[in-house]
Structure 1
Amino acid sequence: MTHLIAIYFSYVYNENNNHLNMQKVMMMADKGLFLKIDPNFPLPINVQIKEQIKWLIGIGIVKPGEYLPPTNQLAEHLQLNRNTINWVYTQLRDEGIVLMQKGRGTQVAEDAKVEELKAKRMPMLTFIEKTIQEASEQGFDLEEVILSSFAFIQLSNNHLEKNNVQILFIECREHDYAFYRQEIEQLTGANVRTVFVEDLHAAHDVKEAIEQTDFIVTTLNHDEEVRELLAHCDKKILTIGATAEMPLMIDIAKMEPGSKVGFVCLGNKGGQWMSQRVQDAGISQIVSMPRGTSNHEKLLETLKEADRIYASPVVYDKVKELAPDKTMLYPLKLEKSSEALLKDLTNPKR
């Protein structure tokens, strides 16, 4: 049953792999199945988990109507933050693969989306197994094959033309909302309007913006909050997530134990999110100092005390000017599944 894990992460089974002892394993005891993550693999951990679950469902090992492990249980077994598992389940829900019901858990859906997934993954299984075998026989490094394939696909994709789709993007003022908005615009070609969560709470007049939009997009940080505030709305709400690029994690992992690292965004919550992504990657030897630029005095204290500063794109120039010798960019990127969701909004037949 565990052969499907080898399909996507087969290189981690190499007994000579130096990263093997860093992997964490969760067993679905009732099925004898394992989910495996590797913080050194060049895909974000939450994407690793999500894609393995889709394989389990796609080839019929986890069946429609069955429940996935509770988020706290899966997070505990994988030694991850619960928000990471919530993100995975939320993305699966937005893709129509699972149903999330308070008090009952996360259940594999019995609908056309799951049948479509199975119809794609079953023939894909044979193809990928054959590809991995051929790559191994020719001496190709599987990780390099995966990365180079991604790059080739990106080179082959045509840019989307601007269209008349209207998207309402909802985020708070403390996160790098400019990054998300730019990504949404580039991937969808749609007209994007930003509304802040704080304005929804303050009951500002956003009724017109909601009525004129085709889709609402928010981030994992505010998924439940936005859905609750817009429970009366009949618009489709999608949740997207971002992560840091792998070279950044490698650089931070190489820092001396006890190093003080500042993570700076628009607000403290943004800085905390940046810091949490580092912890989720299994990096624990540093002292994290999340900070927002809204409190200038506290920011200056952090810049003085920290050994290194990572600033989000939206505040990088400002922080770099204040601490030019310490400041580095915290490069963000959308999760692959988030990219796919956004592309499907304006190009459903892709």
Structure 2
Amino acid sequence: MQPNVLPFRLRENLSLNKLAATNPTNALPIQIDPKAPLAISAQIAEQIKLLIAFGALQIGDALPPTTTLAKQLQANHNTIAGVYSSLTDSGYLTAQRGKGTFVADTLCVQNLIKNNRHYLLLRQAFTAAQEINISPAEFAGAAYAQAVMLSGAQSNPLKLVFVEEQSPSGLELYHLVQAEVGLPIFFAGWIDVIAQQPEVMNQLRSADLVITTTAYAALMAHMSGLGQNKEILALEVRPSVEVLTQASSLPQDAQMLIIGCDRAEAKRLKQMLKEAGISHIQVQTAALEQIQQHPQKLEQFDALCCSLPAQVQLQTTKMIHHPHLTVFRLRLDPTHLLVLKARINSLQSN
């Protein structure tokens, strides 16, 4: 029996609407080969990323429930759940309680769409391999072996760790840093660092460079158990220019509401505005759950500002229609980023 292989003919940038027209079940065009050298979970994850890269899955599109996709692929439900969880942690998907899993609006998704050229190169290589009767499984194995050999011939990669709060905003900052650096980075949640979770502490001790934000730099410097002379580099986080422009243009004593996924996130964003010099307006904070329960309270505010993760959920529910709604996007201090990149280059050259 021939293995099921996805024909990657996505040049037409199919949307889910077009897929639905030819596929009434809304099943994703994913197929798996149990005999391939690549794990089934990796096959599924990479095909989902491919669908995102070429527009078959677009930002905000819903993925099938795990049980539906498991039934379609005749795969274990836990395997699908693990794939969704892994892609969510990596920033490609976002999970919304009670609503489902969606393609995330993150930098790594935008970079995947923008930099999809390697998929085209793989397609060209596979087409050439088919001409000499190399099977998909043989091609995948050969490609993996070549990648391992080439990476092994290079110097050992840097071990980088990013420490931040384990929250939607913390993960947003993690993806910002990873996109700027262009290297694999281990994410260490602050709660796990405080608890000295063994895996996290091992990653911190063996790291060539620990990256964090100014909010945690002093605390990290005084932590025990990291080893002597552990290098910690702090980045300053600021509101985006759009947020500062909106806040600055409001009249004296105007009322602004900052909405976060939880109250702690909203308060942190409020503190960033204060540190940026915004003091002429009245700023209040609210958790997303409060707004969902009492949307009528929004009418009393002159401007609304919500975190990016909160905005994704609000956009899905379509519950807010306010003329002055801005997404509170974060940005990293450009000077600190230059220092980080220069430090990484220096470590790589040693």
TM-score (norm 1): 0.47
TM-score (norm 2): 0.47
- Structure possessing the higher relative contact order (Cα contacts under 8 Å, 6 or more residues apart): 1
Which of structures 1 and 2 has the bigger CA Rg? 2
